[in-house]
């Protein structure tokens, strides 16, 4: 066996990982390295993977004073002494996490605890890091001794490149990552999300497990392949793989009864036994087939979620709020939707606002059918929720990410604003949520030449899916990306004469100034049902805000 076999129980290790093929890795180009990592170039040679890990981790930019192997040799005797490491309590920041043994031998299992305790001694600023035991256990398979493993983990923890996020080390960072994952599931795994909402009282509690799926439940052969790519590409890879796991879980278990009383436990069991249904190659293939948002956009979303948690005072571990209870039955009364329907809508909105309570701002039953009163009651609130019940008993609505006062920037002209978090939905006769799409309108005269302006037919101006999504942020305002707002923020529009909301899959909603009539635009190129009748009469309209 090679020099990196000290802590490995080869009877447990995948036999393919024992290949003695003497491959070397000499490339330094990022794109080439990324392809090799995804293809598993060093996955079948234990020694090569160890050397690649050492090389990649050595290149991580770190704080000037980062503990190294010599520090470990100096402190391990003082901290552990002659005591059995298994009898020593672990630091609170690992949160009683699973300490996976993977393919470690007895010495390796004991070494994990020793390294955790020494890291706690050297990193007093770490307050919450449940992924740490798994990372240590994994790297021990590819380390010559405990000190080398300690140094590699320290470099990962001490990374000081603001653009390179690696492991969450505070509860705020961890919790915001769970909220961000929930947002991504809502966007990319809608079928699975619908299942979570149906069978779980608290979807956030389910999504809080996303790191445990990776750093705890995934078998060794799988997490090692994920870690290969993670060291090259960073944190975004973790989101990708977790989304892929959820997609496979839904596909494999669709229509089957739950195996336990908890969807959380079912997902954990599925990931633990993933070898029965999905290979590591298929898992990564699925993960990288997801057209995920850019790293910058995900970072901005994570920052928004962190800010929301800070504003709520949630910065240390505490009992998680039950999202389904965010809409309290005793305090909620709508003439359009039931408590259950409002809770379903709450499961669609961005996680940072799911912490809030619904607050009725405007209703035509009390405030009359006046667009000016609609604006006066809605302005100053961001985001808002629009609910409509038609005389034909149809129920639809829209989540509106931006304050309606933004419409004033356009003067008397129809003004476009909003972000890609806007969406429209239907509750009756069937439940359907439509992803956002940019809307167009002939009033957008200043964005192009006169010829272009007159060439745009009015009949096709309420929807568009032609602008490539990589030009704008799916979550945040165009101002974050220095894009011209008139061409990049076309999700909401308002004037003294009408309101337009761009929905998704070719859907858009148009309301007249009297708030009595409306119409929808539906692109026939999409295989879905329209939001509601093409023209409709409004029975009741409500606007809801979000209260802390």
What distance lies between CA 440 and its chain's CA centroid?
29
Instruction: State yes or no: pLDDT of 436 exceeds 60.
Output: no
Confidence of residue 182 (pLDDT cuts 50, 70, 90): very high
The answer, yes or no, to whether residue 186 has pLDDT greater than 80, is: yes
Question: What pLDDT was estimated at residue 435?
Answer: 63
Examine the pLDDT at 488 and tell me if it is beyond 70: no
233-277 residue pLDDT tens: 999 999 999 999 999 999 987 777 776 778 999 999 999 999 999
> Contacts by 388-391 with C-beta closer than 8 Å and gap 24+?
388/336, 388/518, 388/532, 388/538, 388/540, 388/541, 389/335, 389/336, 389/538, 389/539, 389/540, 389/541, 390/532, 390/533, 390/536, 390/537, 390/538, 390/539, 391/536, 391/537, 391/538, 391/539
pLDDT digits (tens, 9 = 90+) for 204-219: 889 999 999 999 999 9
| Residue 187: predicted pLDDT | 87
Q: Where are the alpha helices (DSSP H) in 255-370?
A: 263-272, 280-289, 295-311, 339-346, 364-367
- pTM here is 0.75
Q: In sequence order, what DSSP letters do the residues of 403-442 get, joined into one string?
A: -GGGGGGGTTS-EEE--TT-EEEEEESS-EEE-------T
Residue 163: its pLDDT value, please?
A: 78
pLDDT of res. 437: 45
- Please enumerate in sequence order all residues whose Cβ is within 8 A of that of 274, keeping only pairs 6 or more positions apart, or say none: 218, 219, 222, 245, 248, 283
- The owner of tokens 């945040």 is 476
* pLDDT for the residue 198: 83
**Mean pLDDT computed over every residue of the chain:** 81
Give per-residue pLDDT as tens, 5-46: 899 999 998 765 555 565 677 777 888 999 999 999 898 899
Query: CA 258 from chain center: how many Å?
Result: 25
More confident residue, 23 or 432: 432
Is 90 exceeded by the pLDDT of residue 317?
A: no
* Cα R_g (the chain), whole angstroms: 26
Residue boundaries of the structural domains of the chain: 10-158, 171-312, 339-443+486-547
Whether 474 has a pLDDT exceeding 60, the answer reads: no
* pLDDT for the residue 321: 45
For domain 171-312, say whether CATH 3.40.50.2300 is its number.
Answer: no
pLDDT at position 507 is 67
Question: Is the pLDDT confidence value at 470 over 70?
Answer: no
Q: Which of 9-13, 482-486, 507-511, 532-536 has the highest mean pLDDT?
A: 9-13
Reduced DSSP (H G I as helix, E B as strand, rest coil) percent helix, strand, coil of the chain, to 5? 45, 15, 40
Using CA atoms, how far apart are residues 259 and 399, in angstroms rounded to an integer? 35
* Lowest-pLDDT choice from 221-230, 261-270, 286-295, 411-420: 411-420
- Three-state DSSP at 245 gives helix
């Amino acid at each position: 066996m090679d020099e990196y076999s000290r802590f490995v129980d080869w009877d447990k290790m995948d036999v393919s990982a024992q290949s003695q093929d003497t491959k070397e890795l000499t490339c330094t180009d990022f794109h080439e390295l990324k392809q090799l990592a995804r293809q598993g170039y060093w996955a079948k040679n234990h020694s090569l993977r160890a050397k690649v890990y050492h090389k990649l981790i050595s290149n991580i930019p770190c704080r000037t004073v980062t503990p190294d192997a010599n520090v470990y040799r100096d402190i391990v005797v003082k901290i552990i002494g002659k005591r059995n490491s298994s009898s020593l309590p672990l630091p609170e920041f690992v949160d009683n996490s699973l300490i996976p043994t993977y393919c470690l031998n007895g010495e390796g299992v004991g070494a994990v605890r020793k390294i955790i305790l020494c890291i706690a001694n050297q990193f007093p600023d770490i307050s919450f890091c449940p992924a740490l035991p798994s990372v240590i256990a994994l790297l021990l398979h590819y380390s010559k001794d405990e000190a080398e493993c300690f140094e590699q983990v320290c470099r990962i923890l001490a990374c000081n490149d603001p653009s390179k996020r690696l492991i969450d080390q505070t509860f705020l960072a961890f919790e915001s990552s769970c909220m961000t994952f929930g947002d991504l599931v809502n966007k990319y795994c809608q079928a699975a999300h619908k299942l979570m909402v149906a069978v779980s009282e608290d979807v956030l509690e389910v999504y809080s497990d996303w790191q445990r799926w990776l750093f705890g439940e995934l078998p060794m052969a799988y997490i090692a392949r994920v870690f290969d790519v993670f060291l090259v590409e960073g944190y975004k890879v973790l989101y990708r793989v977790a989304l892929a796991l959820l997609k496979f879980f839904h596909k494999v278990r669709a229509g089957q009864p739950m195996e336990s009383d908890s969807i959380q436990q079912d997902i954990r069991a599925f990931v633990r036994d993933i070898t029965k249904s999905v290979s590591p190659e298929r898992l990564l293939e699925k993960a990288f087939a997801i057209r995920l948002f850019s790293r910058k956009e995900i970072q901005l979303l994570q920052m928004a979620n962190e800010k929301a948690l800070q504003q709520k005072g949630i910065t240390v571990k505490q009992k998680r709020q039950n999202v389904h209870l965010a809409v309290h039955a005793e305090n909620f009364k709508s003439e359009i939707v039931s408590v259950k329907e409002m809770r379903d809508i709450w499961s669609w909105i961005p996680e940072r606002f799911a912490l809030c309570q619904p607050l009725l701002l405007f209703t035509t039953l009390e405030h009359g059918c006046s667009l000016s009163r609609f604006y006066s009651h809605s302005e100053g609130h961001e985001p808002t929720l629009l609910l409509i019940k038609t005389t034909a008993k149809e129920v639809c609505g829209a989540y509106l990410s931006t304050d309606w006062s933004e419409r004033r920037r356009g003067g008397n002209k129809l003004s476009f604003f909003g972000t890609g978090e806007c969406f429209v939905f239907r509750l009756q006769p069937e439940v359907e949520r439509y992803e956002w799409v940019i809307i167009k309108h002939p009033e957008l005269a200043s964005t192009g030449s006169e010829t272009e302006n007159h060439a745009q037919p009015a009949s096709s101006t309420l929807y568009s899916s032609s602008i490539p999504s990589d030009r704008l942020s799916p979550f945040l305002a165009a101002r974050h990306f220095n894009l011209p707002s008139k061409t990049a923020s076309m999700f909401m529009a308002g004037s003294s004469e009408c309101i337009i909301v761009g929905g998704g899959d070719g859907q858009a909603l148009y309301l007249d100034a009297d708030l009595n009539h409306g119409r929808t635009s539906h692109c026939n190129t999409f295989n879905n049902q329209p939001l509601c009748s093409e023209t409709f009469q409004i029975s009741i309209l409500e606007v809801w805000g979000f209260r802390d």
